[in-house]
A = this chain, B = another copy of it.
Amino acid sequence: MTSAPGWRGVRETVRGRIHARDWPPGAAIPNEADLATELGCARATVNRALRALAEEGLLERRRRAGTRVALRPVARATLEIPVIREEVEATGARYGYRLIGREVAPGEADDGEWSLGDVPALRVVALHEADGAPWAVETRSVSLVAVPDVVEEPFDRTGPNEWLLERVPYTHGRIAFDAVTAEAKAGLLACAAGAPLLRMRRLTWDGERPITSVELRHAPGHTLRTAL
């Protein structure tokens, strides 16, 4: 039954037993030492395999209590949020960028939870295109407190995202997706005002300091995909 060797082999062996309901949901599985003996490897190898399955959500591990098969394997979808240029080019299309607006604002973008707060910021509006067709409208604010150098950048050839990624480190962020209608952005996206759009909002910090906020409204029909 021990098909492949190594920790991946152990992982697949265990996964197989769970899938086959040898170890049904909620059941406890043998401890690491016993499994190591049974499978003829070191405990560290079993540990590596079980840890991987726990990270997948298939197992629940607790000290002293042991390892159990998860009752509800929580589905985890990992979305990769790429730089838009690369996202577009990955589809085989030619990427285009157009700067729509750029201004220095003294503060208060007033988008509540998704704004930088009351700090002076550079605000940029830009259109991303794929083969000349609208792909997404980007509305961005970059804090002049955290990133003073940004005022020197015209952003007329490339967007703020690529520029920031390579220069400004961040520690954490918050991201959200929802559906909105195009409304004022309908012109830029060449769609009806009532067209449903997938919107992404993101806010990024470096420690306590907010760095940048961005709202992306994708063209109608845009789909976010991932494996499960």
Contacts and interface: CB of A to CB of B under 8 A. Distances in A.
A77 B166 CA distance: 19
B80 A175 contact: no
Interface string A24-47: 010000000000000000000000
A19 B81 CA distance: 20
B222 A166 contact: no
B76 A83 contact: no
Tallying the copies of this chain within the complex gives 2
Query: How many of chain A's residues touch chain B, expressed as a range?
Result: 35 or more
A165 interface: yes
A224 interface: yes
A63 interface: no
Given A194-B194, A196-B179, A196-B196, A19 B169 contact: yes
Contacts of A1: none
A56 to B, nearest CB: 12
Contact of A77 (B19, B74, B175, B221): B175
A220 to B, nearest CB: 8
Which of A169, A177, A202 has most B Cβ within 10 Å? A177
B225 A197 contact: no
Contacts of A162: 72
Contacts of A71: 166
Nearest to A205: B228
A174 B225 contact: yes
B179 A228 contact: no
Contacts of A165: 72-73
A49 interface: no
B79 A72 contact: no
Contacts of A227: 172-175
Instruction: Report, nearest first, the 3 A-B pairs whose CB atoms are least far apart.
Output: A173-B228, A179-B179, A196-B196
19 contacts: A72-B166, A75-B81, A75-B175, A76-B78, A77-B81, A172-B227, A172-B228, A173-B228, A174-B228, A175-B228, A176-B226, A177-B198, A178-B198, A178-B221, A179-B180, A179-B197, A180-B196, A198-B198, A204-B228
